[in-house]
C-alpha cells in the first residue's frame, strides 16, 4: 500500500517514451500549513521530489519531511511544472508577484471554503484563482481529502478525488499524480464544477437531518402515548406496578407505529404531486419547494421506516427471552391448575397471532429486498425500468 | 444538486482557454416529443442555451420551457455544434434534407428501440443514424435515462449514462455535457457497443425470471405436501382441526425444503460441466446452451436459497411468540401435573434440537457472508483468487 | 452478453471515421499456453480476427479455436498492431529476435509473477518487457483475469481490468479492446503502477488473516472457560450432566465475550497512537510498524466484533426454541404447583433482563448501521466528514 510508486514521467506532451532527466518528477507546493505539510509527506512517500515554496524557508524547513526541499517561493515555482496552491483564498492575491514565473504551469487548487464563504461568494476558490492567473491552467483537486488521510495514506473510506479543469491535458497530469499517491481520481468535468466540488466536504448527511428528526419526534410521541396507556393508567386506576415494561415492551409497541407513519409519508408526496399535476394540467412546471424537498427525501424516510420495522422484529423476538415472560407462563399454568383444570385454547386468539406474525415476516422480507436495492452499488447495476419496478413494490 | 452548472466551453479543439462568445454554450434538439421536452427542461436548468428544431415552431413552442428557443429545424441545426436527435428511428430518414447543415457536427442518438425492433433489425439505431449521415459524428448516449429523470434531475437510482462513439473527442464533449447535467458518463467504447447499450433499458431482471419462478414452483409443491401431511391428514383421520397452522407453521416447514433444493441446484451444474469436460476430453469446447444458462444463473439461485433460509430463521424465531405455543406449554404443564407429576426430560429430544439449532445458526451466518460478497461493490473489491475462495466455501 | 461486439476500428490515429480494410480488427498473440488459448477463444467470440504466433504452428494449431490463425511468430507480429505477450517472464528475452518487426507496436503484458518473483525482483514484468523492447509501447492489462474467466466470458465477480501504460493512446486502444471483450477497463496510471497491479492477484484477503485468527483464538479460550464453568464443574462437583449445553448454550455465552474483547481492540490502538504523539510532541513522525498494522486492521476487527454480536443475537433468539427450554418451563410450573402454589415473581430479575435485552437490541441496531457504512459503495458515497462522524459513533 505504502511502497514508493515512482511515476517516472508526469508530463508527456509529445507522447514519446523518453524518461525525465532527474529521475523522480518534481512537484511544487506553495504554503506551509498543516495541509501543505501532510501533502509533502505523502508526495515524498509516493516517490516524488518535492519543492516547498515558503516566504521564510529557514524557519519552516523543520516542519517538513527532510526529503522535501524548502526554498523561497519564486525558486520553488521555477523548478516544477505542477504546483499545489495550499494557501487560504484570502492570500491568493499575495501570490500575484509570482505570476511571471507561474505562466503556463499547472496550479492545483486544494482549498476548501468555509460554509459561510461558500454561500456568500458564489464563486469557487478555483475559479477565483483562475481569474487571478489567466496564463496558468487551474485544476481543482484533493480538497475532499483531509490532512490526516494525506499523511497516513488512503486506507478506509472514500479514496475518490474529484478533479475538474478546463484543460483535459492538465486534468490527465493531475489524475496520474493522484493515482501515484494511491487515490482514485474521478473526472467531474470543467472548472465550472469546482463550486459543487468545494461544497462536498461541507455536507454532513444533508438529506438525513430532517427525516431523522421526524422519526425521533414520532417515536417520542408514540412512546409517551403507550407509556400512558400501558403503564401509567393501570398504575393510577388499579394500582398495578408495570414499570418493568418501560425499557422493552413500551419501546416495542411504539416502533411499528413510527414505521407505519413513516411509510405513509413515503407515498403521500407522490399522491400530492400527481394531484397537483392533474390540477395544473401540465407536468412541465416545477413543484413548490416544500413538495420538491419532500419528494427528494422519500428514500431516506423509507429506509428509516425499514429500520424501525427491523428493530420491532428484533424486540419482538426478544420477548420470550424475558424472565417476566417465563413468570407469566408459569403463573398462567398455576392458575389453570388451581382453578378450572381444563384444556386451555382460544381459537380466535390463536388465529389472530398466526396471521399477524406470518404477514409481519413477509413484510419485513420484502422491505429488506427494497433496502438492498437502495445500496448504491446495487442501484447502479439496475436500469431505470428495473429500479421503477422495485420502487413500485413499496406501494403494495 | 439543481444549481446551474454552466459548463462554459464545450468544444475545446485547440486546448486553449478561450471562452465561447455567447456565454452559455448552445445545444440543439431535433424533435418535439416527451423526451425532447424533458431534455430541453434539463439542459436549460443546467445552464445551457437550447435551440429546438421543429417542423412547426409556432404550434410546438408552447410545449417547451420559455428559455428554450423553438425554431425551424434547419435554423436549429445551423447554430449549434452538438445536436440531440430525439425522433423515432423510422423518422431518421426525414432528416436527410438537413445533411448539408449537419456536416461535421456531433449527433447524439438518444433513441430506444422496442424489444421487437431490437431483435429483428440487429443493427443499432445509432449505427443506422451514422450510416445515414456519414459526415457527422454519432454519439450514443442518454437512452437509459427516462424522460421523468431528465425532467426532475438525477436523484435516486442509477445516474450512470453509458456513452459510445467512434470519435474520442466527440465522446469527451458529450461526457462533459452529461457531467454538467448531473449524470455520470461511462465510456463503453466504440459505436459498435451501441447495440448492447440500446438493449439495456429493455431488461427487467433478465437473470432473475427463471430462478424466481423455480423457487415459487418449489414452494407451492412443498407447501401442498406439508399441508396434506400436517393439516389435512390429521383432520381426515382423527378429526383434529389444525387449520391454524396454515399461515405460519406450514410455511415454515416448507421454506427449508425449498432452500435445500435450490442449494443443490447451485452445485449440480458445476458437477455436470466437469463430467462433460472429462467425457469430451477438452475444456475448450462450449457447453450446451441449457447447461450454459444454468451455470450463469447459479448466483441468483444461491441468493434465493439464502433468502428462503433467512425467512425460515425469521419464522422459526416467531414460533414462541405465538399464542398457540403458549397454550401448548400451559396444557403440557397441566397434563404433567394431573397425570404423572414427575420431572419432564427426554435427553434425546433435547440433544437433537440443540445440535439442529446450533448448526442452523452457523449455516445462516456463513450464507450471509456469501450473500454479502455478492454485492457488486464487495465483489469489485475482491480479486479473482479471493472470489473463488469465497465461492468454494459454498461447497462445504 | 456473449454476442460478437465487433469493434471495427481499434487504432484511430487520425480521428477519421474510415473503416479498417479487413472488417474485423486483427489482434496478435505470442504464446501457446493455457492463458493464450483462453485469450484466443474470447477474442474470437468478441469478433476479432486472431493471429497466434507459435514456434511450431503445425503442432499447436489444434489447441486453438479453428477461427484463429496459427502462424510463425514473425508472421503473427507483422500483421497486427496490438500483440498480447502471453509467455513467461523468463522467456521474454527469447522474443528479442522479433524486435525489428515489433517496433512501434503495442505489446500487452498479461503475465503474473509468482509471490517469490514479485518480492525478489522488485521490478514488474511489464517494466522489464518495456526495457527489452524500447521501441514498443508496453501496456499492462488482463493479468487479474483468470484463464477460466477469459474462456467463459465475464459473468460473476469482478469485471474490472486495471490497465496502465506510459502512453495514453495505447491505453485507450487496449481499453476499447477490454470493453469489446466484456470487461470494464480501469485506468490506474503510468507503467510504474504495474508492480502494484501485478501484486493484486497474489492477495488472499491479506487484511483479514490476523483478525480472523485472533477472533478464533479468543473464541477457543472463552469456550474452554465457559465449558469448565457451566458444564464440567457442575458435573464433577454435583454429578449433574449438563453436556447438552455444549452445542448452543456454551457457544452463546462465549460469543459476547469475544465481541467485547474485539471491540476494545478497535479502540485501543487509537488511544495508544494519541498517547505516542503526545509523548513525541509531533504528529509528523511515523508510528512503529506494529502499531501501524494494528491501526490498519481496525475495520476488520470491528466487523468481526459485529459478526460475533450478530451471531450472539441469533443464538439468543433460538434459546426459547429449544426443547430443553420447554421442559425447564414445565418443570418450573410443576414445582410451583407441588410446593408453594403461590404467584411467582422476582422484580429484580425481571428488570435486569428487560434492560439487558433493550440495550442489546439498540447496540446491535447501531452496530449494523456502522457495518453498512463499511460497504465500499456506501463508503464511497460519504465524504470525509461524514465518514469520521460515523466512525466516531463507535466510541459511544
For position C23, what pLDDT does the model report?
Answer: 55
- Any chains having at least 3 CB pairs less than 8 A from chain C are A, B
* Separation between Cα atoms, residue C105 and residue C99, nearest integer Å: 10
pLDDT in tens, C65-91: 888 999 999 999 988 999 999 999 989
In a 10 Å sphere around its CB, with 0-12 CB exposed, 13-18 middle and 19+ buried, how is residue B217 labelled? Answer: exposed
Contact flag C386-A203 (C-beta cutoff 8 Å): yes
* Separation between Cα atoms, residue B253 and residue A261, nearest integer Å: 33
Kindly state whether A240 is in contact with chain C, defined as any CB-CB distance less than 8 angstroms: no
**ipTM of this complex prediction, to 2 decimal places:** 0.71
* Separation between Cα atoms, residue C171 and residue A185, nearest integer Å: 16
Residue B36 half-sphere exposure toward CB, CA atoms < 13 A? 24
Nearest to B247 among A358, A376, A381 (CB): A358
The pLDDT-based confidence of B2 (bands split at 50, 70, 90) is very low
For position B283, what pLDDT does the model report?
Answer: 63
For position A394, what pLDDT does the model report?
Answer: 55
Contact flag B247-A343 (C-beta cutoff 8 Å): no
Give mean pLDDT, residues B362-382: 78
A214-223, C93-102, C238-247: which is most confident: A214-223
Q: Indicate whether C14 pLDDT > 80.
A: no
Contact flag A160-C353 (C-beta cutoff 8 Å): no
Give mean pLDDT, residues B318-328: 89
Q: Indicate whether C260 pLDDT > 80.
A: yes
Kindly state whether B245 is in contact with chain A, defined as any CB-CB distance less than 8 angstroms: yes
* Separation between Cα atoms, residue C207 and residue C216, nearest integer Å: 15
For chain B, the distance separating the N- and C-terminal CA atoms, rounded to the nearest angstrom, is 48
Own/partner pairs for C251-256, CB < 8 Å, 24+ apart?
C251/B358, C251/C223, C251/C315, C252/C312, C252/C315, C252/C316, C252/C319, C253/C222, C253/C226, C254/C219, C254/C222, C254/C223, C254/C225, C254/C226, C255/C219, C255/C308, C255/C309, C255/C311, C255/C312, C255/C315, C256/C308, C256/C309, C256/C312
For position A338, what pLDDT does the model report?
Answer: 82
Give the largest CA-CA distance in chain A. Answer: 103
pLDDT in tens, B46-70: 888 999 999 889 888 888 888 899 9
A56-65, A295-304, C233-242: which is most confident: C233-242
In a 10 Å sphere around its CB, with 0-12 CB exposed, 13-18 middle and 19+ buried, how is residue A381 labelled? Answer: middle
Using the Cα atoms of residue C337, residue C342, residue C344 and residue C346 in order, give the sign of their dihedral: negative
pLDDT in tens, A353-364: 888 888 988 888
pLDDT in tens, B234-282: 999 998 888 988 999 999 999 999 999 998 998 898 889 889 888 887 6
Question: What does the domain layout of chain B look like in residue ranges?
Answer: 26-200, 208-344
Q: Are B332 and B387 in contact (CB under 8 A)?
A: no
| Three-class secondary structure assignment of C177-204 | HHHHCCCEEEECCCHHHHHHHHHHHHCC
pLDDT in tens, A131-165: 999 999 999 999 888 887 787 766 655 678 899 99
Q: Indicate whether C63 pLDDT > 70.
A: yes
Nearest to C382 among A158, A249, A378 (CB): A158
B251 Cβ neighbours under 8 A, 6+ residues apart: A358, B223, B315
Radius of gyration of chain B, Cα coordinates, nearest whole angstrom: 31
Nearest to B323 among A316, A350, A388 (CB): A350
Q: Which of A342, A385, A392 to mutate to test the interface with B (most CBs of B within 10 A)?
A: A385
The residue count of chain A comes to 396
* Separation between Cα atoms, residue A56 and residue A97, nearest integer Å: 16
The pLDDT-based confidence of B203 (bands split at 50, 70, 90) is confident
DSSP letter, residue C250? I
Contact flag C379-A158 (C-beta cutoff 8 Å): yes
Residue bearing cell 415476516 = A361
Distance of CA B339 to the CA centre of its chain: 62
CA-nearest of B178, B154, B153, B155 to B165 is B178
* Separation between Cα atoms, residue C20 and residue C23, nearest integer Å: 6
The pLDDT-based confidence of C19 (bands split at 50, 70, 90) is very low
Angle (CA) C257-C259-C264 rounded to 5° is 100
Contact flag A205-C134 (C-beta cutoff 8 Å): no
pLDDT greater at residue A231 or residue B383: A231
Nearest chain A CA: its distance from C112 CA (Å):
19
Kindly state whether C355 is in contact with chain A, defined as any CB-CB distance less than 8 angstroms: yes
Q: Indicate whether C4 pLDDT > 50.
A: no
Q: Which fold has domain A26-200?
A: Rossmann fold (3.40.50)
Which residues in C lie closer than 8 A to residue B343 (C-beta atoms)?
331, 334
For position C29, what pLDDT does the model report?
Answer: 94
Contact flag B322-A193 (C-beta cutoff 8 Å): no
Kindly state whether A310 is in contact with chain C, defined as any CB-CB distance less than 8 angstroms: yes
For position A390, what pLDDT does the model report?
Answer: 67
* Separation between Cα atoms, residue A132 and residue A90, nearest integer Å: 12
Contact flag A314-C383 (C-beta cutoff 8 Å): no
Nearest to B7 among A192, A344, A353 (CB): A192
* Separation between Cα atoms, residue A326 and residue B208, nearest integer Å: 45
pLDDT greater at residue C284 or residue C93: C93
CA-nearest of C132, C136, C138 to C197 is C138
Give mean pLDDT, residues A298-326: 90
Kindly state whether B248 is in contact with chain A, defined as any CB-CB distance less than 8 angstroms: yes
Task: Quote the cell numbers at residue B38.
Answer: 424533458
Its pTM stands at 0.76
Q: Indicate whether A186 pLDDT > 90.
A: no
Q: Are B274 and B283 in contact (CB under 8 A)?
A: no
Kindly state whether A350 is in contact with chain B, defined as any CB-CB distance less than 8 angstroms: yes
Angle (CA) A110-A114-A115 rounded to 5° is 130
For position A10, what pLDDT does the model report?
Answer: 39
Pairing of β A184-187 and β A160-165? parallel
Closest chain B residue to the Cα of A343, Cα to Cα: B331
Q: Indicate whether C55 pLDDT > 50.
A: yes
Contact flag B203-A379 (C-beta cutoff 8 Å): no
Helices (H), B142-250: 147-152, 168-180, 194-199, 209-227, 233-238
Give mean pLDDT, residues B105-132: 88
Q: Indicate whether B220 pLDDT > 70.
A: yes
For position B182, what pLDDT does the model report?
Answer: 82
Which residues in C lie closer than 8 A to residue A317 (C-beta atoms)?
317
- A170-179, A359-368, B351-360, C335-344: range with lowest mean pLDDT: C335-344
Q: Indicate whether A108 pLDDT > 90.
A: yes
- Helices C298-318 + B347-373 axis angle, to 10: 150
Task: Quote the cell numbers at residue A26.
Answer: 518534481
pLDDT in tens, A31-59: 988 889 989 988 988 888 999 999 889 88
Give mean pLDDT, residues B130-149: 89
* Separation between Cα atoms, residue C104 and residue C81, nearest integer Å: 8
The pLDDT-based confidence of C12 (bands split at 50, 70, 90) is very low
Pairing of β C106-109 and β A69-72? unpaired
For position B3, what pLDDT does the model report?
Answer: 36
* DSSP, residue by residue, A48-111: -EEEEEESSHHHHGGGS-TTSEEEEHHHHHHH-SEEEE-S-GGGGGGGGGGHHHHTTPEEEE--
Kindly state whether C203 is in contact with chain B, defined as any CB-CB distance less than 8 angstroms: yes
Pairing of β B137-140 and β B160-165? antiparallel
Range 21-60 of C in CB contact (< 8 A) with B: 37, 41
Cα dist from B258 to B218, B253, B255, B306, C295, whole Å: 6, 9, 5, 10, 44
Which residues in A lie closer than 8 A to residue B245 (C-beta atoms)?
354
Contact flag A386-B204 (C-beta cutoff 8 Å): yes
For position A132, what pLDDT does the model report?
Answer: 93
- Count contacts between A and B (CB, < 8 Å): 180
Please state, for a pLDDT cut of 90, what percent of chain B lies above it.
31
CA-nearest of C188, C183, C165 to C7 is C183
Residue bearing cell 447438552 = C244
Pairing of β A82-85 and β A106-109? parallel
Cα dist from C138 to A10, B313, C25, C86, whole Å: 17, 54, 19, 13
Range 265-294 of A in CB contact (< 8 A) with C: none
Mean pLDDT over the full length of chain A: 83
For position A6, what pLDDT does the model report?
Answer: 36
Q: Are B325 and B319 in contact (CB under 8 A)?
A: yes
For position B19, what pLDDT does the model report?
Answer: 35
- A100-114, A203-217, B132-146, B194-208: range with lowest mean pLDDT: B194-208
Distance of CA B15 to the CA centre of its chain: 39
For position A387, what pLDDT does the model report?
Answer: 67
Which residues in B lie closer than 8 A to residue C372 (C-beta atoms)?
none
Give mean pLDDT, residues A245-261: 93
Kindly state whether C375 is in contact with chain B, defined as any CB-CB distance less than 8 angstroms: yes
The residue count of chain B comes to 396
Mean pLDDT over the full length of chain C: 83
For position A15, what pLDDT does the model report?
Answer: 33
Nearest chain B CA: its distance from C347 CA (Å):
22
Distance of CA B173 to the CA centre of its chain: 28
Task: Quote the cell numbers at residue A287.
Answer: 413543484
Q: Which residues pair with C187 in a beta bridge?
A: C163
Consecutive H or E run containing C45: helix C34-45
Q: Are C106 and C140 in contact (CB under 8 A)?
A: no
Contact flag B188-C179 (C-beta cutoff 8 Å): yes
Burial A164-195 (b: 16+ CB within 10 A, else e): bbbbeebbbbbbbbbbbbbbbbbbbbbbbbbb
Q: Are A198 and A112 in contact (CB under 8 A)?
A: yes
pLDDT greater at residue C263 or residue A4: C263
Pairing of β C137-140 and β C160-165? antiparallel
The pLDDT-based confidence of B22 (bands split at 50, 70, 90) is very low
Angle (CA) C155-A187-C389 rounded to 5° is 85
Task: Quote the cell numbers at residue A12.
Answer: 508527456
Kindly state whether A212 is in contact with chain C, defined as any CB-CB distance less than 8 angstroms: no
Q: Indicate whether C177 pLDDT > 80.
A: yes
For position B289, what pLDDT does the model report?
Answer: 84
The pLDDT-based confidence of B1 (bands split at 50, 70, 90) is very low
Kindly state whether A171 is in contact with chain C, defined as any CB-CB distance less than 8 angstroms: no
Amino acid at each position: 500500500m505504502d511502497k514508493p510508486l515512482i511515476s517516472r514521467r508526469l508530463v508527456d506532451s509529445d507522447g514519446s517514451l523518453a524518461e525525465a532527466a532527474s529521475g523522480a518528477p518534481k512537484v511544487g507546493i506553495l504554503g506551509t500549513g498543516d495541509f501543505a505539510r501532510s501533502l509533502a509527506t505523502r508526495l515524498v512517500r509516493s516517490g516524488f521530489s518535492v519543492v516547498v515554496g515558503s516566504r521564510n524557508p529557514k524557519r519552516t524547513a523543520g516542519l517538513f519531511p527532510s526529503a522535501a526541499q524548502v526554498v523561497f517561493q519564486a525558486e520553488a515555482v521555477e523548478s516544477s511544472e505542477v504546483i499545489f496552491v495550499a494557501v487560504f483564498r484570502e492570500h491568493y492575491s499575495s501570490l500575484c508577484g509570482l505570476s511571471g514565473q507561474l505562466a503556463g504551469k499547472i496550479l492545483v487548487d486544494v482549498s476548501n471554503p468555509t460554509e459561510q464563504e461558500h454561500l456568500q461568494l458564489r464563486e469557487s476558490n478555483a475559479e477565483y484563482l483562475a481569474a487571478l492567473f489567466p496564463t496558468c491552467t487551474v485544476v481543482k483537486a484533493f480538497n475532499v481529502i483531509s490532512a490526516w488521510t494525506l499523511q497516513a495514506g488512503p486506507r478506509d473510506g472514500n479514496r475518490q478525488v474529484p478533479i475538474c479543469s478546463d484543460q483535459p491535458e492538465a486534468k490527465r497530469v493531475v489524475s496520474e499524480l493522484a493515482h501515484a499517491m494511491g487515490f482514485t481520481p474521478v473526472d467531474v468535468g470543467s472548472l465550472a464544477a469546482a463550486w459543487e466540488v468545494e461544497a462536498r466536504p461541507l455536507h454532513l448527511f444533508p438529506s438525513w437531518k430532517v427525516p431523522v428528526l421526524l422519526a425521533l419526534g414520532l417515536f417520542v410521541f408514540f412512546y409517551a402515548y403507550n407509556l400512558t396507556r400501558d403503564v401509567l393508567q393501570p398504575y393510577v386506576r388499579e394500582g398495578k406496578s408495570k414499570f418493568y415494561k418501560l425499557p422493552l415492551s413500551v419501546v416495542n409497541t411504539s416502533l411499528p407505529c413510527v414505521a407505519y407513519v413513516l411509510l405513509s409519508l413515503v407515498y403521500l408526496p407522490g399522491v400530492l404531486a400527481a394531484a397537483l399535476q392533474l390540477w395544473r394540467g401540465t407536468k412541465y412546471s416545477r413543484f413548490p419547494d416544500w413538495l420538491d424537498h419532500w419528494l427528494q427525501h422519500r428514500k431516506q424516510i423509507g429506509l428509516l421506516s425499514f429500520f424501525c420495522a427491523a428493530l420491532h422484529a428484533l424486540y419482538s423476538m426478544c420477548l420470550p427471552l424475558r424472565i417476566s415472560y417465563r413468570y407469566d407462563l408459569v403463573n398462567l399454568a398455576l392458575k389453570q391448575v388451581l382453578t378450572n383444570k381444563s384444556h386451555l385454547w382460544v381459537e380466535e386468539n390463536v388465529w389472530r397471532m398466526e396471521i399477524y406474525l406470518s404477514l409481519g415476516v413477509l413484510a419485513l422480507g420484502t422491505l429488506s429486498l427494497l433496502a438492498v436495492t437502495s445500496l448504491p452499488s446495487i442501484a447502479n447495476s439496475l436500469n431505470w425500468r428495473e429500479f421503477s419496478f422495485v420502487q413500485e413494490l413499496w406501494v403494495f
